[in-house]
């Protein structure tokens, strides 16, 4: 079965479920939301999803989601989280062998932003400042006029992510926060990526210079599981995984480091997300 989805798109303004609409569009829902976005609630959700009884939900989830299980190693899942963090079989995620190609670090719905003489970018009604996002003004200045790539993962995506190039880890930082959903309805009302709990790695890469890769938690997913905090890494090497839910990986490149595929930039301008899979080519370096 061919599960390739490269360059298909989804409208950023697509309809949300009645539950999400209740939480973000009604007064009663916003009261409930204040409780749900607390990290302690996500930890409780994680406990439930790691229990054996949660495995009963797997057949229901598979029926309602378009997941190509031929892409994954065959095994018996102990819990829903075990299923959710399932590992792809060898060869299911192919990386371009050309080292100048920028590849997607994960499955997801991609939007691309050129910072254009700034360290700020806009998603729907929310304006993001890299100083606020990184909580490090000096580091943010290094990415002034750069490029920001945002990969929004949904529950049907593969929830492991990787390094996009060979290089070394410069530093790692964890930032505490609340946990909004990363669905478009929330992105239009809150600066979700700057408010949610997140973790970022500053990397010196062989082909793209200094790069920041940030993993952002989401509603009911407080746990970001990165494998290492120092040392060297290889292109395509697994960096970590998210536990239950959908979340976000964000990549920051310095000025003139890369050229993003024109179709992806055009899709973003048209308020569409480009559907990509881990390893897909999404741009090139400038050299």
Catalytic site residues?
107, 247
190-209 CB burial, b ≥16 within 10 A, e <16: bbbbbbbbbbbbbbebebbb
How far apart are alpha carbons 215 and 219 in whole angstroms? Answer: 14
**DSSP H helix total and E strand total for the chain:** 10, 17
Q: Are 259 and 286 contacting, i.e. CB atoms less than 8 angstroms apart?
A: yes
Q: Are 279 and 236 contacting, i.e. CB atoms less than 8 angstroms apart?
A: yes
Task: Give the rounded distance of the alpha carbon of 206 from its chain centre.
Answer: 23
Reported for 93-97, long-range contacts at CB under 8 A and 24+ positions apart, including other chains, are 93/158, 93/277, 93/278, 93/279, 94/279, 95/235, 95/236, 95/279, 96/279, 96/281
| DSSP percent split of the chain into helix, strand, coil, nearest 5 | 25, 30, 40
Q: Which two tokens stand for residue 39?
A: 């990290």
- Residue 33's SS3 state is helix
């Amino acid at each position: 079965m061919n599960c390739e989805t490269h360059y298909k798109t989804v409208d950023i303004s697509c309809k949300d479920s009645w539950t999400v609409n209740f939480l973000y569009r009604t007064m009663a829902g916003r009261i409930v939301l204040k409780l749900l976005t607390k990290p302690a609630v996500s930890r409780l959700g994680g406990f439930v999803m790691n229990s054996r009884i949660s495995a009963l939900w797997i057949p229901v989830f598979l029926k309602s989601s378009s997941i190509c299980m031929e892409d994954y190693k065959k095994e018996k899942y102990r819990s829903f989280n075990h299923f959710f963090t399932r590992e792809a079989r060898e060869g299911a995620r192919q990386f371009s062998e050309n080292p100048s190609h920028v590849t997607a670090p994960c499955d997801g719905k991609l939007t691309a932003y050129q910072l254009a003489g700034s360290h700020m970018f806009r998603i729907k009604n929310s304006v993001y400042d890299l100083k606020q996002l990184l909580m490090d003004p000096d580091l943010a200045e290094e990415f002034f006029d750069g490029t920001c790539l945002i990969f929004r993962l949904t529950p049907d995506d593969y929830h492991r992510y990787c390094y996009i190039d060979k290089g070394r880890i410069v530093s790692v930082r964890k930032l505490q926060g609340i946990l909004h959903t990363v669905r478009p309805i929330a992105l239009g009302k809150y600066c979700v990526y700057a408010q949610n709990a997140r973790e970022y790695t500053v990397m010196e890469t062989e082909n793209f210079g200094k790069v920041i890769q940030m993993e952002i938690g989401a509603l009911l997913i407080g746990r970001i599981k990165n494998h290492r905090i120092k040392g060297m890494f290889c292109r395509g090497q697994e960096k970590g995984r998210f536990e239950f839910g959908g979340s976000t990986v964000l990549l920051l490149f310095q000025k003139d480091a890369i050229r993003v595929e024109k179709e992806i930039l055009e899709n973003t301008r048209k308020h569409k997300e480009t559907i990509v899979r881990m390893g897909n080519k999404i741009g090139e370096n400038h050299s």
